[in-house]
Amino acid sequence: MKHLLKLLDLTEEEIIDLLNLADQLKYERKHNIPHPRLAGKTLGMIFQKASTRTRVSFETGMVQLGGYPLFLSSHDLQIGRGEPVQDTARVLSRYLDGIMIRTFAQKEVEDLANYGTVPIINGLTDFCHPCQVLADLMTIREYKGSFNGLKMCYIGDGNNMANSLIVGGLKVGMKVSVACPKDYQPDAQVLDFANKNGGFTITDSPVEAAVDADVIFTDVWASMGQEGEAEKRRIAFNGYQVNDDVLGAAHAECMVQHCLPAHRGEEITEKVFEAHANEIFDEAENRLHAQKAVLVKVMGSQN
Ligand code: CP
Ligand code: NVA
């Protein structure tokens, strides 16, 4: 695996391999077994959007792996003043062993990979959030034991999280159901992939999507960069909430997951959020372990 640009690029085997390594790294950390698999390596982390989890988990993850993380805010980089990503990629490739980037356009991440010579990791674009969904899959397998026969449900905006969950869920063999308003559907490329898979359904009814679900996901109604549409979206997404009615349609042992940050009272009720807080914060913790697996796979000697 050279890069992690989007889950569409990965095979089921590559995803499972990453999850197995993530489990191993979690075990090593819990038992204080040193695991300096990236000793002496440097990761540049370019952020064009805000972050709590992604920044801190990549930064501490690199340190735990014996490497060195560099936080590069676009406010301080020349990229923020218009230096082309193609040039940034070629320069940074001469200093760093890998680059993680959080930005708007997926094309920017793909350009970094095309022009640079070091591994590129997508830390979220408007199109997808592969690191998050690897942590989500890790958490589901931790709680449920395997993906066999499971149904994943996503309720809300057809955004970066929806796109990656659909692809990741289907690739590991889960059934995936989605409920989105008609004007906020997932990306066409993702729907094309999903519709070729017998396990995919899409509807505009949250309760219908949740029937027999084993895990329900949701995400914010207005993502980073869409702050100006927040009011319009509050109206469009009215009813697309993970609440007791939705959970009533799911299996009794249904998990609830949220990538965070969450807006209680919008996409999820306070009651449902707090009832499933352990699962949600295990999911957040697993960002660390899943990303360390990605770092080792793309930057380590065994890639
Ligand atoms: N879930 C997630 O990516 O969180 P941050 O935006 O805080 O990194
Ligand atoms: N869809 C959200 C996810 C945040 C982790 C956003 O892009 O803002």
Q: Which atom of ligand 2 is nearest to the CA of 53?
A: 5
Checking if the pLDDT of 5 tops 60, the result is yes
- Over residues 190-233, the pLDDT tens digits come to 999 999 998 999 999 999 999 999 999 999 999 999 999 999 99
Same domain, 98 and 187: no
Average pLDDT value over all residues in the chain: 97
CA of 226 to the centre of ligand 1 (A): 16
Task: Kindly write down the DSSP assignment for every residue of 123-149, as one continuous string.
Answer: ---SS--HHHHHHHHHHHHHHHS--TT
Q: Is residue 1 part of a domain?
A: no
132 Cβ closer than 6 Å to some ligand 1 atom: yes
Residues 141 and 122 in one domain: no
- Number of structural domains (the chain) is 2
Based on the domain organization, do 112 and 165 belong to the same domain? Answer: no
Q: Is 136 found in the same domain as 110?
A: no
Residue 23 inside a domain? The answer is yes
Q: Give the closest ligand to the alpha carbon of residue 100.
A: 1
Residue 64 has pLDDT above 90, yes or no: yes
pLDDT at 280: 98
**Are the CB atoms for 298 and 200 separated by under 8 Å?**
no
Percent of the chain with pLDDT over 70: 99
Statement to judge: residues 183 and 250 lie in one domain? yes
Taking 50 as the threshold, does the pLDDT of residue 140 lie above it?
yes
Q: Is 59 in the pocket of ligand 1 (CB under 6 A)?
A: no
Rounded mean pLDDT, 118-125: 98
Identify the domain containing residue 25 by its residue range.
7-129+287-302
pLDDT tens, residue by residue, 148-173? 999 999 999 999 999 999 999 999 99
Q: What pLDDT score was predicted for residue 301?
A: 82
Reply yes or no on whether the pLDDT at 38 is more than 90: yes
Pocket of ligand 1 contains residue 223 by CB under 6 Å: no
Ligand at shortest distance from the CA of 53? 1
272 is a domain residue: yes
| pLDDT tens digits for range 236-276 | 999 999 999 999 999 999 999 999 999 999 999 999 999 99
Task: Output the pTM of the full model.
Answer: 0.98
Tens of pLDDT, residue by residue over 269-286, are 999 999 999 999 999 999
If asked whether residues 114 and 149 sit together in one domain, one would say no
* Partners of residue 154 on adjacent β-strands: 178, 217
- For residue 27, pLDDT over 60 is answered with yes
Pocket flag, ligand 2, residue 163 (CB < 6 Å): no
The answer to whether residue 124 is domain-embedded is yes
Q: Mean pLDDT, to the nearest integer, of 168-197?
A: 98
Determine the angle formed by the axes of helices 160-171 and 188-195, rounding to 10 degrees: 20
Ligand 1 atom nearest to 123, measured from its CA: 3
Confirm whether 251 is a catalytic residue: no
Residue 24 belongs to some domain of the structure: yes
Q: Tell me what pLDDT residue 302 has.
A: 54
- Whether residues 117 and 149 share a domain: the answer is no
Residue 232 lies in a domain: yes
What letter represents residue 201's amino acid? T
pLDDT of res. 303? 47
CB 123 within 8 Å of CB 102 = yes
Q: Is 149 exposed, middle or buried (0-12, 13-18, 19+ CB in 10 A)?
A: exposed
